[in-house]
Amino acid sequence: MGLARIAIAVLAVVLACGLLVIGGMALWGALTGKDDKNKPSAASTQASSTAGSGTDTKPSASASQVGNTITVRCLVAQCPVFVSGPGANDVQFNGNLRQNETRIFNETRLTVAVQDAGGVTVTINGHVQPPGRHGEAKTYEAPTGQ
């Protein structure tokens, strides 16, 4: 009887430690933005960062099948960018881009909000959007008909 209680207590401690490790890993992934949901966007970011420095990016055939393609390129030292869609509570990206960093997003409905419209170039479905003024906050929306 005493040995069974010790075995149950050891099993409970091991299980609690395992849950702490898993919770810590999940928290670290959430804080650093390296969760499974953002991996496709990160992969497309790496590919686009190594591409040429042209600002007029044409969407690929596979990207156009998904829906809209929005490319955001930072022209200044740091650009705060927020991308949401297709659902009302779906955040695709919320952070800062560094100078010459490019992010590509593919979804059916996307909204991009930038704090400094003069510091970024935004391309929607291969069409460069009109630039804003430096310091001006601006929102870009991809068409919903695609």
Q: Which residues, 6+ apart, have CB-to-CB distance to 121 below 8 Å?
A: 55, 71, 72, 73, 75, 128, 129, 131
pTM of the prediction? Answer: 0.53
Tens-digit pLDDT profile for residues 87-108: 767 888 899 999 999 999 888 8
Quick one: pLDDT at residue 100? 92
SS3 content of the chain, % helix, strand, coil (to 5): 35, 30, 35
Beta bridge partners of 79: 97
Tens-digit pLDDT profile for residues 47-91: 344 343 343 444 344 434 457 889 999 999 999 999 988 776 788
Tens-digit pLDDT profile for residues 17-31: 989 999 888 888 777
Quick one: pLDDT at residue 61? 40
Q: What is the mean pLDDT of residues 138-143?
A: 86
- Calculate what percentage of the chain has a pLDDT beyond 70: 75
Say if residues 81 and 140 touch (Cβ distance below 8 Å). Answer: no
Beta bridge partners of 114: 81, 138
